[in-house]
Amino acid sequence: MLPSREMGAKSLKPPRLILHNFLTSEECKELEFIHKSSSTVGYRPNVFSTTLSHLIATNSSPFLIPFVPIREKLKEKVENFFGCEYELCIEFTGLISWCRGACIGWHSDDNRPYLKQRHFTAVCYLNSYGKDFKGGLFHFQDGEPTTLVPMAGDVAIYTADSCNIHAVDEIIEGERLTLTLWFSRDSAHDEDAKLISLLSKTMLHCSINMPEVKPPMLASINMYWFSLDLASHQQLGFDICLARMHVLGFDVCSCQAEGLLSDSTEILMEPLQLVRGKELFKQDFVNILHALQVFSLLQMLNNIDQYSVGSQM
Ligand SMILES: O=C(O)CCC(=O)C(=O)O
Ligand SMILES: [Fe+2]
């Protein structure tokens, strides 16, 4: 990590606010479930993300609901703390998880010309250092507090400019999960307007072409393909939906092709059944994302064993 930069006005309190237990553990768990069943490969290596537009685009808009009160509560906090005269808009909302090897060096969140509309940041920690992951401590370059130890429910709120240069240590083990929001004073960057337009397009399309509720649909396969070796050009790696199903103890079995599937990503977009040990679950799922969402939800409810187990294989 680079040495700390000298700051002119060290006596000034840095524009930041750290709150403990801002989210309940139920809220954290609910968002974790959404992320584990819907995330795509993120914008940087070893990072997964779940954006609200992705939820809409994959027929998963019911998952927007838990975000609504949390976004409002955060916006109000940010507006009050920074004494914003006019209402802020939310520029971006996303669940972001970092796996082993991910880190970020010193930066401010508005440090690119196309990010200048970002005025304030809120990072909510959804899981905990030491319990769910190792590494991943957050540091401010100047001012107090210097280091944040991510704990589920806590939130860090700060200005996105150079008053709050920060960095995150490399993740050593596990998966570190946050809900990250950026706020803007510029209503041209209002995420809600874009989401409403996306929602109305998909709903219009649904009501004309498919009146019944449709299960989650997969986006393009490369959004789920996680490569461990960056140099491998996708030769080594795995589909993250399939990997998460494995963590839940399931294998996937094609409704069309014979036998178990390994990681043939195109087949994962087709109807499939699930196998756990010698048990075959008789439900057909439209694709792996649908299966993952159903089973993650049941796992969250501790209910998997009551889910109509079909014939023994
Ligand atoms: O996850 C964090 O603690 C902060 C991440 C960060 O700095 C960023 O995404 O810009
Ligand atoms: Fe940042």
The pLDDT tens digits for 119-152 are 999 999 999 999 999 999 999 999 999 999 999 9
* CATH topology (fold) of 16-206: Jelly Rolls (2.60.120)
Residue 306 has pLDDT above 80, yes or no: no
Q: Distance between CA atoms of 16 and 158, rounded to whole angstroms?
A: 4
Q: From 44, 103, 104, 110, give the residue whose CB has the most ligand 1 atoms within 8 Å, as the site to mutate.
A: 104
Beta-carbon neighbour count of residue 57 at 10 Å? 16
In three-state secondary structure terms, 187 is helix
**Taking residues 256-269, what's their average pLDDT?**
65
Neighbours of ion ligand 2 (CB under 5 A): 109
Report the pLDDT value the prediction gives residue 15, as an integer from 0 to 100: 96
Residue 184 has pLDDT above 70, yes or no: yes
Q: Distance between CA atoms of 184 and 189, rounded to whole angstroms?
A: 7
Which residues of the chain does CATH 2.60.120.620 include? 16-206
Using a 6 Å cutoff on CB, does residue 250 contact ligand 1? no
Q: Average pLDDT over the chain, rounded to whole?
A: 86
Q: Respond yes or no on whether ipTM tops 0.95.
A: yes
Q: Which atom of ligand 1 is nearest to the CA of 109?
A: 10
In three-state secondary structure terms, 91 is strand
